[in-house]
């Protein structure tokens, strides 16, 4: 289908884009890589009167280390993350996730910021961003702020971004000593989205116990979430296979699971446990090799 008519704006700076977004209000939409907004417009599920294309703003595509954190610009593509030597060495969970997204065409055009701002309940990035306890930077004409990942995803296609805010960067911690991480996923065969996707980061102490653990889950409910029941069961205890399996059984606790033609709610809850166990075991294995 053909989208409804709209006016197209190409700001040169974040400040200019913020001003346009503030001016147009609900009638303005930000365009980054375009993989989310353009299909919605073609199906007439979205009909903005103004498109604000931020894709040509300089300085929003980068990956740089800042102390014990790594900051990534919102326009950084999935492929740039997948192929980054810095991230492979310092935060490998990000490249591991990026390679699971779509196909090469999608990864070369789609952006980290656009994917997070869209908040698709079956997208890959939200699980990983949650597992990393990342921070998300937002800017508007009123100023800027950092939002914790746990506070960012509100519901299906809904985030903590205010209507006049633009997501400009993401900040993640580097992998600590004794740490390991992993992303596991069951692909929807037609779309490539996650039927269930699980990101895990584990830090082992000198005794081989799980000192820290964080688990992000996507594809199960109306939004990605931290599997707190899994984390609480494992924290401070030995990284034993039986215990990991027991903890993984809590992966969908308290979640109203999605149901569709491909996977029922019951099947999704089962998959959440299976893929959580796999992700944690893989993360523990990698942590043990450090």
CATH, residue 35? 3.30.43.10
Confidence of residue 290 (pLDDT cuts 50, 70, 90): low
CA distances from 91 to 18, 40, 74, 87 (A): 31, 33, 17, 5
- Residues 143 and 187 grouped into a single domain: no
Domain total in the chain: 3
Is position 58 within any domain? no
Contacts of 126 (CB under 8 A, 6+ apart): 116, 119, 149, 153, 216, 218, 223, 224
- CATH code (residue 154): 3.30.465.10
Is position 2 within any domain? no
- Residues 255 and 273 grouped into a single domain: yes
- Residues 151 and 194 grouped into a single domain: no
Query: What pLDDT digit, counting tens, does each position of 180-215 carry?
Result: 999 999 999 988 999 999 999 999 999 999 999 999
- CATH code (residue 225): 3.30.390.50
Cα 229 from Cα 185, distance rounded (Å) = 20
- Residues 97 and 144 grouped into a single domain: yes
- Residues 103 and 74 grouped into a single domain: yes
Percent of the chain, pLDDT > 70?
Answer: 99
Output the pLDDT for position 204: 97
Of 152, 173, 194, at which residue does a domain stop?
Answer: 173
**In contact, 61 and 76? CB cutoff 8 Å:** yes
DSSP at 27: G
- Residues 148 and 69 grouped into a single domain: yes
Output the pLDDT for position 69: 98
Residue of 31, 105, 113, 75 whose CA lies nearest to 3:
31
> Which two three-digit tokens encode residue 233?
């069961």
Find the mean pLDDT for residues 217-240: 98
- Residues 151 and 214 grouped into a single domain: no
- pLDDT reading at 35 higher than 80: no
- Residues 72 and 165 grouped into a single domain: yes
| Tokens 């939004």 found at | 223
Of 122, 144, 173, at which residue does a domain stop?
Answer: 173
- pLDDT reading at 229 higher than 90: yes
β-strands 50-53, 28-31 pairing: parallel
* Residue range(s) defining the domain that contains residue 201: 180-288
Residue of 214, 134, 158, 204 whose CA lies nearest to 182:
214
Contacts of 270 (CB under 8 A, 6+ apart): none
In the chain, the DSSP E strands lie at 7-9, 28-31, 50-53, 63-66, 69-73, 135-140, 143-148, 153-155, 158-159, 166-173, 179-187, 194-204, 210-218, 225-226
- Residues 44 and 99 grouped into a single domain: no
Is position 44 within any domain? yes
- Residues 130 and 222 grouped into a single domain: no
- Residues 198 and 231 grouped into a single domain: yes
Give the predicted TM-score (pTM) of the model.
0.95
Of 118, 146, 173, at which residue does a domain stop?
Answer: 173
């Amino acid at each position: 289908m053909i989208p409804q008519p709209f006016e197209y704006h190409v700001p040169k700076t974040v400040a200019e884009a913020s001003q346009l977004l503030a001016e147009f209000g609900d009638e303005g939409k930000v365009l980054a890589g375009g993989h989310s907004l353009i299909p919605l417009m073609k199906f007439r599920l979205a009909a903005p009167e103004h498109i604000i294309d931020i894709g040509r703003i300089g300085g929003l595509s980068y990956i740089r280390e800042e102390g014990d954190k790594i900051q990534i610009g919102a326009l950084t593509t999935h492929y740039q993350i997948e192929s980054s030597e810095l991230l492979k060495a310092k935060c490998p969970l990000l490249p591991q996730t990026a390679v699971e997204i779509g196909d090469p065409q999608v990864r070369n055009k789609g952006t980290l910021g656009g994917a997070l701002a869209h908040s698709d309940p079956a997208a890959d990035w939200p699980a990983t961003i949650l597992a990393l306890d990342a921070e998300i930077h937002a800017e508007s004409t009123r100023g800027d702020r950092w939002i914790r990942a746990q506070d960012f995803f509100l519901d299906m296609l809904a985030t903590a971004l205010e209507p006049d805010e633009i997501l400009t960067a993401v900040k993640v911690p580097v992998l600590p000593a004794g740490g390991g991480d992993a992303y596991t996923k069951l692909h929807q065969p037609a779309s490539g989205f996650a039927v269930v996707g699980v990101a895990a980061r584990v830090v082992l102490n000198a005794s081989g116990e799980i000192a820290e653990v964080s688990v992000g889950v996507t594809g199960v409910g109306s939004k990605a979430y931290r599997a707190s029941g899994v984390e609480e069961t494992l924290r401070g205890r030995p990284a034993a296979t039986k215990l990991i399996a027991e903890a993984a059984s809590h992966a969908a606790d308290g979640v109203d699971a999605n149901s569709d033609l491909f996977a029922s709610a019951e099947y999704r809850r089962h998959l959440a446990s299976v893929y959580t166990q796999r992700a944690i075991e893989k993360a523990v294995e990698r942590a043990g090799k450090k």
